[in-house]
Amino acid sequence: MNALRSLRAQLAAAILTALALGLGLLLIMAGNQMSRMTMEAFIHEQQAQALALANTFPEAFERQSAQQLLGAWMARRNQLQGDFTTDTNVNLFTTRGALVVSSSSNGRLVVDNARVLSGNVVSTVIDGRLYTAVPVVHEGRDVLGTLQLDTSTAPVNNRLFSRWLALIGAAAGALVLAFAIAMWVAAQLTRPLSQLRGVAQQMAEGQLHARVAIDDTVNELASVGAMFNHMAERIEQTVQQQRDFVANASHELRAPLASIKIRAEALASQNVGGMRAQQYAAEINDDVSQLADLVGNLLQLSRVEGGAFTLPTQPLNVLDELQACVRAATPRLAQRHQHFESQLADDIPNLYLQPNDLTLMVGNLLDNAIKYTPEGGCVSLAVAWHAHALEIAVKDSGEGIPPSDLPRISERFFRVDRAHTREVPGVGLGLALVAAVVRQYNGTLRFTSSGVPGEGTQAYIELPGMPAT
């Protein structure tokens, strides 16, 4: 029973059943046709013999004695004995149905004599014998009587039996061949699934690089294999991202914790005092604030990526919130002597957005632009309402991002590896948060940069929204 639960066995059984039914139906149709044609050929053969024999009798054979007629018939039968089976009987009757002569002891007329005398050739099978009656006509005018041949159907039945055996043997051979073909087809169809199961087992054992080999198999199975490989790549990327996340988070936590530990041990040992102790306490406070920000960002990122998102029920005054973001960034812009240009369209409608989400997106983009733009550089913010979408653009004149790093710029803990960016504060979670929030609103986030210092980076957000009525 377990074997029948196999997909390969079920496919083979289904194919074999269909072929067997088709062959069985074909066998019945061909056998019936063969039997009918064989019997018709036998009947036609007997009719031809009867007609040939009837044409040999002389005119007015009724006036001759029975012995002379029988002698004439015997002489003719001896001449044609190769055309008759061994148990063929010949009977000659008058137009009234009276027996004139017979080669058997119980000659009787079993056919409709009236039909025969009207010129018809009549054949019928009774009790395993074929009776064929033809009119005896002299010179095409006078009907002298009826000639009846009767012969056993055993020879034709034996012929049919041998032909049926041959036909059944051919069908059995075809069925065996069909079984082999069904097993081959089932193996071809299930082979990709077996490979898929094997690769899934390898992935379950930790071999995430395993992939299904896609060849010239059935299109649907090839599509399944391609989708499985795509899923495997996503799983491998996700697992790798989780590993990187743990490694990066550990690294970001280790440095401030080590700094706190060293300074706390120094303060606990009372080896430092005065201004040095105050400096250590201030540095510990800074490290704790850095850890709090890191943990807060991680919690917020986890909430955004894993929580169920629902649109707010109250619309947000987008223009007021954007102006608040600009006011929050102004002190840092002034501290770095950067030129800031703001273009906020007046026709921006109120939208169903969370205030914190809009502040997070715009604030992080402005924060990155300020941090990576040298003193005296330029930062700009442009927001407009176009084609039922809120379009946000933040540009700077900083060092830019190498084009090869642009696809990874919104990954967690990813930072561009340049010497002049290593001292910039941050852990690489800001843009990951922005990307996660943008995805919640079914928006798009993209970056463009030539990587040439001074040409800066351009960040674009497009949020489809429904204005409040």
19-23, 51-55, 84-88, 321-325 — most confident range: 321-325
What is the average pLDDT score of the chain?
80
pLDDT band at 421 (very low <50, low <70, confident <90, very high): very low
Predicted confidence (pLDDT) per residue in 383-420, tens digit: 999 988 999 999 999 988 888 888 888 877 777 764 44
pLDDT of residue 420: 42
Q: Band of the pLDDT at 158, cuts 50, 70, 90? A: confident
* Distance, CA of 276 to chain centre: 71
**Structural contact between residues 134 and 116, judged by C-beta atoms closer than 8 angstroms:** yes
For residues 225 and 212, the answer to whether their CB atoms sit within 8 Å is yes
Largest Cα span, the chain: 165
Compute the distance between CA of residue 110 and CA of residue 179 in angstroms, rounded to an integer.
52
- DSSP SS3 for 63: helix
pLDDT in tens, 223-261: 777 887 888 888 887 777 777 767 766 766 777 788 788
- Percent of the chain at pLDDT exceeding 70: 83
Tell me the C-alpha distance between 109 and 99, whole Å. Answer: 8
The torsion angles phi and psi of 64, rounded to 5 degrees, stand at -75, 160
User: What's the rounded mean pLDDT across residues 253-274?
Assistant: 78
pLDDT of residue 191: 75
| Model pLDDT for residues 175-205, shown as the tens digit of each residue | 888 888 877 877 777 777 777 778 778 878 8
Specify whether the CB–CB gap between 380 and 394 falls below 8 A. Answer: yes
Evaluate if residue 347 carries a pLDDT over 50: yes
Average of per-residue pLDDT across 279-301 = 78
Spatial contact of 294 and 315, defined as CB atoms under 8 Å apart? no
Quick check: 122 and 133 in contact, CB under 8 A?
Answer: yes
**Six token digits for residue 86:** 């061994």
- Closest by Cα among 204, 440, 452 to 306: 440
What confidence tier does 80 reach under pLDDT thresholds 50, 70, 90?
low
Q: What is the pLDDT of residues 352-384, one digit of tens each?
A: 888 888 998 999 899 989 988 999 999 999 999
Domains annotated for the chain, with CATH where assigned, are: 3-160 (3.30.450.20), 219-306 (1.10.287.130), 318-464 (3.30.565.10)
CB 135 within 8 A of CB 116: yes
Distance CA 211, CA 199 (A): 6
Question: What element of type H or E holds 71?
Answer: helix 66-79
pLDDT higher than threshold 80 for residue 322: yes
> Is the per-residue pLDDT at 79 higher than 70?
no
78-97 burial: b if 16+ Cβ within 10 Å, else e: eeeeeebeeebbbbbbbbee
Q: Are β-strands 142-152 and 129-138 bridged in parallel, bridged antiparallel, or unpaired? A: antiparallel
pLDDT single digits (tens) 14-53 = 777 887 888 888 888 888 888 889 888 888 988 888 887 7
Q: Is the pLDDT of residue 323 over 90?
A: yes
Q: Give the number of residues written for the chain.
A: 469
pLDDT tens digit sequence for 89-133: 888 888 888 887 777 777 788 888 888 888 889 999 888 888 999
Per-residue CA distances from 447 to 215, 332, 417 (Å): 38, 23, 17
